[in-house]
Structure 1
Amino acid sequence: MRLAEFIDQDIELILTQWEAFARTLLPAAGHMDSLALRDHARQILQAVVKDISTPQTQEAQREKSLGHAPRAIDAPETAAQTHALLRARRGFNINQLAAEYRALRASVLRLWMDKCLPGAPDLDDMIRFNEAIDQALAESVGFFNEQIEQARNLLLGMLGHDMRSPLQTIQMTASFLAALNAGEDVSEAAARLIRSGARMQTLLDDLCDFNRTKLGLGISIAPHDVDLAEVFADVIDQLRAAHPGREIELDVRGDLHGSWDGSRLQQLLGNLVSNAIFYGTPGTPVRVIVTPADTEVRFEVRNVGPAIDQATLDRIFDPLERGPSQGNEGNGQHGLGLGLFIASEIAKAHHGEISVQSTQAETVFSVRLPRRV
């Protein structure tokens, strides 16, 4: 008996074994009824039957082995993808999802081979069946991972949003304590709270922005007419106060008016300068040079330090990338490795671009911003 015919005839027996195995996948399956345990299993098997019954060229077989099987134009999701989505929502993990396909493969082949006795099963059917199961598994795993990643990003986004309010309360209380002038010990404690709160705020902002990009929302900006000289002078003053042991130079020239999101550009510059402080040679200045052109403004952040190797340069704006520090800023706690990624995304949101060059003499981050977004 050919395999497609067997699956059609004995699909209920196969589904019974699928259900029996799915019921063992605890704790997720503990309170699921028969319909939920069999979720989309029938449709997956029907797709397998259609697949192995369809003539296939060697080229099509090779493409499928690479995960490039054709998709139905009128089907936004395959049965395997929908199965993965519902399993993820039920609390299954990815190992349990893969185990379902492993058990399905074994039970179908075992039942079919028993049915074929005393004859031998068709080897080509067996190969085609394994290909079809592998394709369904790949679709399920890929979709499952997407759903888990999206859920994780949504959770982190909500967490970051909800943490802002208590953090602001801590910062306001610390500022109130500092203003009381209640003695040196209280003032020092309040100052530590203020610095730590600012640090937490920066980490929280980076986390929330990273989540927006992972969710496909990008960095949000609200452009308005600003003077970049004033915007940058303000953030440089804040950075000097946060890093009293480092010299930060600001060189601005000419007309720096344009339409930008001033707060976002402060965040961009702050990330670049903080990076330069952390990775630059201690005791050397960090220089910020801002120059205008007719339709754009350019600025550079320069620091002295060892050259960055090419492999690091190639991925320096990728998220969660960090290199070895040269100094002791922040007691070695530099952050999540998102600063340069966020800086790059802010530049892109303004239709600008950011680049980096590094030699034995210095490292230079260059940003180009059109005057109008």
Structure 2
Amino acid sequence: MRLADFILRDMETIVVQWEAFAGTLLPAAANMKSLALRDHAQQILQAVAKDLSTAQSREAQAEKSMGRAPVLIGAPETAAQTHALLRARGGFDINQLAAEYRALRASVLRLWMDECQPEAPDPDDVIRFNEAIDQALAESVGYFSAQVDQARNLLLGMLGHDMRSPLQTILMTAQYLAALNAGEQVSVAASRLIRSGARMQALLNDMLDFNRTRLGLGVNIAPTDTDLEKLLSDELDLLRAAHPDRRVDLDVAGDCRGVWDGRRLQQLLENLVLNAIKYGAPDAPVRVVMTGEARDVRFEVRNHGPAIERMTLARIFDPLQRGLNQEGSYNADGNLGLGLYIAREIAKAHGGEIEARSDEAETVFAVRLPRRQ
């Protein structure tokens, strides 16, 4: 008997075994009824049987074996995708989801081979069946991962939003204590609270920006008429005060006015300059070179130091990445490894771009910003 015919004929027997195995996947399956445990098993098997009965080329067969079957534009979710979505919402983990397909593969092949006795099963059916199961598994894992990522990002976004109010209360109370002049001990403690609170606020803002981009919302900007020369000059003054042992130069040429979100561009510059200070040679200046052109304003942050490896440079704007410091160890200074990622997202939100290049002479981060989006 061909495998497609067997699956359609013995569907209930196969689904009963699926249900029995799904019921062992605890704790998620503990209180699930039969219908929920069987979720989309019949539709998945029907799709597999249809696939087995459909002619396909060698190339299509190879693609499907790697989970890359073509997807029609505008096509609805497959049964495997919907199954993954419901399993994710039901509390299953990704290992349990994969285990369902592993058990399904084994039970179908075992039942069918018993049915085929004493004749040998068709080897082409075995190959085609494995490819179809692999494709369904790939669809399920992809949807499951996307659902988990979205749920995590929404949770972190809500958590970050709800943390802002108590953090603001802490900062306001610390500032009130500092203004009381109630003695040196109180003033020192209040200053420490203010510094730590400001640091926590920066981390929180980075986390919220990161979550917005992961949810496809992008970084919030509010563009207004801005003089970028004055804006970046003010920001560099603050950075020089915070790092008095480091020299930071600014060179400006041309008209640097445009329509941008000034606060966000100061954040972008701060991230790039702090990165240059952290990883650049301590005895060499950090240079910011800004040029106003006809349609764009460009600025570069340059520092001397060891060249960044090509593989590292290719991923330098990826989130949650940290580089090596001058001593050759990874920095663990309380940051989330989001500075360069957020800098890139701010440039993108303005319709601009940012790129990095590095050689033995210097490392350069170059930003291009259109005057108007």
| Both structures adopt the same fold (TM-score exceeding 0.5) | yes
Counterpart in 2 of 1:121?
121
Q: 1:90 to 1:201 in 2, by over 3 A?
A: same
The residue identity in structure 2 corresponding to 1:298 is: R
Q: Deviations over 1:297-321 (max 9, x none)?
A: 2222222322222222222222222
Q: Structure 1, residues 303-352: CA drift from partner, whole Å, max 9, x if none?
A: 23222222222222222222111289xx8505121111111111121122
- The one-letter code of the counterpart of 1:151 is A
Shift in alpha-carbon separation, 1:220–1:337, aligned structure 2, 3 A: same
The yes-or-no answer on 1:258 pairing with 2:258 is: yes
Q: Measure the CA separation in 1 of the matches of 2:112 and 2:13.
A: 11
Q: Deviations over 1:223-250 (max 9, x none)?
A: 1112223322332233234334333334
Quickly say closer, same or farther: Cα 1:307–1:114, change in 2 above 3 A. closer
1:357 matched to 2:357: yes
Structure 2 matches for 1:79-98, cutoff 5 A? 79-98=79-98
Shift of 1:139: 0.9
| Distance in structure 2 (CA, Å) of the matches to 1:134 and 1:362 | 48
The corresponding residue for 1:59 is 59
- Residue 218 of structure 2 is matched in structure 1 by 218
C-alpha distance in 1 between matches for 2:161 and 2:154: 10
2:37 partner letter: L
AA of the residue aligned to 1:189: A
Q: Counterpart in 1 of 2:71?
A: 71
Identify the range of structure 1 (173-182 vs 92-101) with the bigger mean alpha-carbon deviation: 173-182
CA distance in 2 between counterparts of 1:60 and 1:304 reads 52
Q: Trace 1:274-289 onto structure 2 (pairs within 5 A).
A: 274-289=274-289
> What residue number does 1:247 align with?
247
Q: Distance in 2 between matches of 1:190 and 1:79?
A: 58
CA distance in 2, matches of 1:243, 1:361: 23
Matched letter for residue 32 of structure 1? M
Alignment of 1:83-162 (within 5 A): 83-162=83-162
Shift of 1:372: 1.3
Gaps of 5+ in 2: none
Cα distance change, pair 245–199 in 1 and its aligned pair in 2 (3 A): farther
Residue 322 (structure 1) aligns with: 322
> Structure 1: how far apart are the matches of 2:302 and 2:241?
19
- Residue 254 of structure 1: how far off its partner (Å): 4.9
Q: In structure 2, what residue type is equivalent to 1:247?
A: R
Q: Tell me which moved more, 20-29 or 190-199.
A: 190-199
Change (3 A) 1:36 1:289: same
CA separation in 2, counterparts of 1:308 and 1:133? 43
Q: For 1:165-184, what per-residue CA distance to the aligned partner results, in whole angstroms no more than 9, with x for missing partners?
A: 22222222222222222222
Q: Which residue number in structure 2 is paired with residue 372 of structure 1?
A: 372
Corresponding position of 1:305: 305
Deviates more, 1:129-138 or 1:244-253: 244-253
Tell me the SS of whatever aligns to 1:92: coil
Q: Distance in 2 between matches of 1:26 and 1:165?
A: 38
* Change over 3 Å in CA distance of 1:98–1:234 after alignment to 2: same
SS of 2:30 mapped into structure 1: helix
- Aligned residue for 1:31, secondary structure, equals coil
Q: CA deviation at 1:3?
A: 1.4
Contact 1:279–1:327 (Cα < 8 Å) also in 2: no
Q: In structure 2, how many angstroms separate the alpha carbons of the residues matched to 1:310 and 1:96?
A: 39
Alignment of 1:168-183 (within 5 A): 168-183=168-183
Counterparts of 1:289 and 1:262, CA distance in 2: 18
| More displaced stretch, 363-372 vs 31-40 | 363-372
Q: Distance in 2 between matches of 1:168 and 1:119?
A: 76
Q: Is the Cα–Cα contact under 8 Å of residues 48 and 132 in structure 1 kept in the other structure?
A: yes
Distance 1:174 1:303, change over 3 A: farther
Which whole-Å CA distance do the structure 2 matches of 1:314 and 1:74 have between them? 34
TM-score (structure 2 length as normaliser): 0.93
Counterpart position of 2:233: 233
Worse overlay, 212-221 or 258-267: 212-221
Name the aligned partner's letter for residue 55 of structure 1: A
- In 2, Cα distance between equivalents of 1:221 and 1:148: 28
Partner of 2:31: 31
Distance 1:333 1:141 in 2: 35
Structure 2 residue matching 1:297: 3-state secondary structure: strand
Give % identity: 72
SS in 1 for 2:219: coil
Please provide the CA RMSD for this pair. Answer: 2.1
State how far apart, in whole Å, the 2-side matches of 1:256 and 1:151 are.
42
SS in 2 for 1:30: coil
Q: Which amino acid aligns with 2:164?
A: R
2:342 aligned residue: 342
- When structure 1 is superposed on structure 2, of 231-240 and 337-346 the one drifting more is 231-240
Segment drifting more, 331-340 vs 317-326:
331-340
